[in-house]
A and B are shown apart, each in its own frame.
Chain A
């Protein structure tokens, strides 16, 4: 359905969105690239000239870099593991016949709608506070010494908070995927004599494969850039400084824009590697 007229109308109507996004992508990107080759300290002399690849080298050789990569990977990996495993189990559970399914669904999905600063603060104070937190009460009740969660077990704590936020997302998507499984397939497997566990392993799980991949990719992109959760809990101390947080500190706290920008370029490259895989899946779906 296309005449010359409608095609040119289409181009005009698409232009605002395309131009805006192009600008939104290119302008900051080019500026970041520009700064990354400069010694640029806004509060200490401003633009101090070109330094070539210095910032890139300095960023990766600084003592903070590798720990931040490890921290990032640990948080992303931990959250992915928890949300995918529990997400699958929860999706299977919620797909069973029961009373009040709709309400349970609502309860499970709720954390996703809580703004990150709220969930971080609530967990930090009301659950993980070593004196007044609910966990401290619980530990004392069983006669154990309360844990100073955010300093002694900082990584576990952050992973826990972030997992709580993202588990609903994983569950909801996997539940949607499970519901699209043709129940006749499961019945056929049952007729073929497969016990429940095998049916799960050979039918349900492979069916979920694609959804799991999507969950992993999308979460990875969002998790690579978690910010508020760290900002309001540990401020990057106790070994919770992720790559994102490190860059943020370089740029806004120590105002070393050149160095921070070089870090930003690394972050962009990293995110793009993940994005390529995600786009491939989305693209395939567009054809179908």
Chain B
């Protein structure tokens, strides 16, 4: 069980309010991702849930029980830290055993759970090693193992993949998702990487300056961003924004069109510009287009085979049905 409810929660550091009153419910078994640019308060929010920081006002309840004043150890949550925070002077086995030792679980049960976790995480051969002798990915698994054995109500992940290299990150991402499928335990996952958010989450919470900009499933956020910030944050490469007369034609202050929703041609189209850089990824080509008369810079995702070069003039056609419209305040117009 692990339903977590935040009710009018705020956090101030001195006179600086990093989190204005905030309400959020994370359902039992949900994979919830907090995403936002650095400094948006997502880690602070996680630490409030963990109990590593006090809330300045408001209430946090876990499974319907008020846990606002409960110390972190008693909340029944497990956390995986960005730096893994393994105990360097203990073997992997002792690291994983530590929370159970603190909880006073008997040794036979400890060993049973350690063996099970080690097997699930491919750590069986490494149990007697120290963290210093492990690779980044293995350390990550130990940190997860230490969290699993507690059988917590919910797992908290604080940017757990940011210290891994790109290839490993994709692998661990899958492992964590599989873990969630298997355990069906609530997971709260903090990241600044919208790709991680999109690929892993059941529910994404987009934060900016401590304020929730939008809550929804990955595709809801992609298809119907509530405002210009979410629209620009979700999706890669970023959505193109156009203001002025072109937007006015659609009855909006600003319109947004994703790079993948624009067709390019060498001959004709409603918009045109000059290619400044073309990035060939093999599967796709990203064209950075200047002198469009629409926006400072413009990105288009084209087929992997197109062969435009620096200085070529191209013509672009947007898909009218997926143009996003925003008013002067940046809010979505439907």
Q: Which residues of A contact B (CB under 8 A)?
A: 1-5
| Chain A residue nearest in CB terms to B54 | A3
Cα distance A2–B51 in the bound complex, in angstroms? 10
B240 nearest CB across to chain A (Å): 41
Q: How far is the CA of A256 from the CA of B47 in the complex (A)?
A: 63
When A and B form their complex, which 8 residue pairs have the shortest distance between CB atoms, in order from nearest? A3-B54, A4-B54, A1-B52, A3-B53, A5-B71, A3-B52, A3-B51, A2-B53
In the assembly, what is the distance between CA of A5 and CA of B52, in Å? Answer: 10
Residues in A neighbouring B53, C-beta threshold 8 A: 1-3
Per the bound structure, the CA–CA distance linking A111 and B26 in Å amounts to 67
Q: Mark B279-312, 1 if CB is under 8 A from A, else 0.
A: 0000000000000000000000000000000000
B 21-55 binary contact with A (CB < 8 Å = 1; else 0): 00000000000000000000000000100011110
Give the most central of A1, A2, A3, A5: most B CB within 10 Å.
Answer: A3
CB under 8 Å from chain A, chain B span 47-95:
47, 51-54, 71
Per-residue contact bits, chain B 93-114, to A (CB 8 Å; 1 contact, 0 not): 0000000000000000000000
Q: Which residues of B contact A2 (CB under 8 A)?
A: 53
Query: B69 to chain A: closest CB distance in Å?
Result: 9
* Assembly CA distance A3 to B69 (angstroms): 10
The residues of B that contact A3 with a CB separation of less than 8 Å are 51-54, 71
Distance between B299 CB and nearest chain A CB, rounded to angstroms: 38
A238 to B35, CA, bound (A): 77
A5 to B51, CA, bound (A): 11
> Which A residue's beta carbon lies closest to that of B51?
A3
Q: What are 11 residue pairs bridging A and B, where the CB atoms are less than 8 Å apart in the complex? A: A1-B47, A1-B52, A1-B53, A2-B53, A3-B51, A3-B52, A3-B53, A3-B54, A3-B71, A4-B54, A5-B71
Residues on B lying within 8 angstroms of A by beta carbon are: 47, 51-54, 71
- Which A residue sits closest to B13, measured CB to CB? A2
Q: Please give the distance in Å from A136's CB to the nearest CB on chain B.
A: 58
State how many angstroms separate the Cβ of B193 from the closest Cβ of chain A.
24
Residues of A within 8 A of B71 (CB): 3, 5
Q: Which residues of B contact A5 (CB under 8 A)?
A: 71
Distance from A6 Cβ to chain B, minimum over Cβ atoms (Å): 9
| A1 to B53 alpha-carbon distance, docked (Å) | 6
In angstroms, how far is the closest chain A Cβ from the Cβ of B254?
A: 41
Question: Which residues of A lie under 8 Å from residue B54 when comparing CB positions?
Answer: 3-4
Task: Give complex CA distance A172, B171 in Å.
Answer: 49
Q: How far is the CB of B205 from chain A (nearest CB, A)?
A: 23
| Contacting residues, chain B, for A4 (C-beta < 8 A) | 54
A1 to B52, CA, bound (A): 6
Q: Closest chain B residue to A7 by CB distance?
A: B54
- Give the complex CA separation of A1 and B158 in angstroms: 14
Nearest B residue (CB) for A3: B54
Q: Which residue of B lies closest to A5 (CB)?
A: B71
CA distance A91 to B142 in the complex (A): 45
For B51, list chain A residues within 8 Å (CB). 3
User: How far, in angstroms, from A4 to B53 measured CA to CA in the complex?
Assistant: 8
How far is the CB of A5 from the nearest CB of chain B, in Å? 7
A51 to B53, CA, bound (A): 58
Residues of A within 8 A of B47 (CB): 1
A72 to B58, CA, bound (A): 64
**Measured between C-beta atoms, what is the minimum distance from A276 to chain B in Å?**
29
Q: Which residues of A contact B52 (CB under 8 A)?
A: 1, 3
The CA-CA distance from A272 to B47 in the complex, in Å, is 44
Smallest CB separation, A20 vs chain B (Å): 30
| Cα separation A226 to B47 with both chains bound (whole Å) | 53
A2-B53, A3-B52, A4-B54 known; 5 other A-B pairs, CB under 8 Å? Answer: A1-B47, A3-B51, A3-B53, A3-B71, A5-B71
A174 CA to B162 CA, complexed, in Å: 39
Q: How far, in Å, is B184 (CB) from chain A's closest CB?
A: 31
Give the distance in Å from the alpha carbon of A3 to the alpha carbon of B53 in the complex: 5
Report the minimal beta-carbon distance from A2 to chain B, rounded to whole angstroms.
7
In the complex, what residues of B have CB within 8 A of residue A1's CB?
Answer: 47, 52-53
Give Cα A5–Cα B53 distance, bound, in whole angstroms: 10
Distance in angstroms between the alpha carbons of A5 and B68 in the assembled complex: 13
* Chain B: minimal CB distance from A10 (Å): 14
CB-nearest residue of chain A to B53: A3
Q: Smallest distance from the beta carbon of A28 to chain B beta carbons, Å?
A: 38
Measured CA separation A3–B51 after assembly (Å): 8
Distance (Å) between the CB of A182 and the closest chain B CB?
26
Output the least CB separation between A143 and chain B (Å). Answer: 66
Q: Find the B residue at minimum CB distance from A4.
A: B54
A3, B54: Cα distance in complex, Å: 5
Complex: A4 Cα to B52 Cα, angstroms: 10
CA distance A5 to B73 in the complex (A): 13
Q: How far is the CB of B153 from chain A (nearest CB, A)?
A: 20
Q: For the complex formed, measure the closest distance between the CB of A149 and the CB atoms of chain B, giving whole angstroms.
A: 55
**Given the complex of chains A and B, what is the CA–CA distance between A1 and B54 in angstroms?**
9
Cα distance A217–B10 when bound, in Å?
48
| Cα A2 to Cα B52 with chains together (Å) | 7
**Bound: A4/B72 CA distance, A:** 12
For residue B72, which residue of chain A has the nearest CB? Answer: A3
Q: How far is the CB of B60 from chain A (nearest CB, A)?
A: 13
Question: Nearest A residue to B55 by beta-carbon distance?
Answer: A3
User: What's the Cα separation between A2 and B14 when bound, in Å?
Assistant: 12
Bound: A2/B53 CA distance, A: 6
Q: How far is the CB of B91 from chain A (nearest CB, A)?
A: 26
Considering the chains assembled together, what is the distance between the CA atoms of A2 and B72 in angstroms?
A: 12
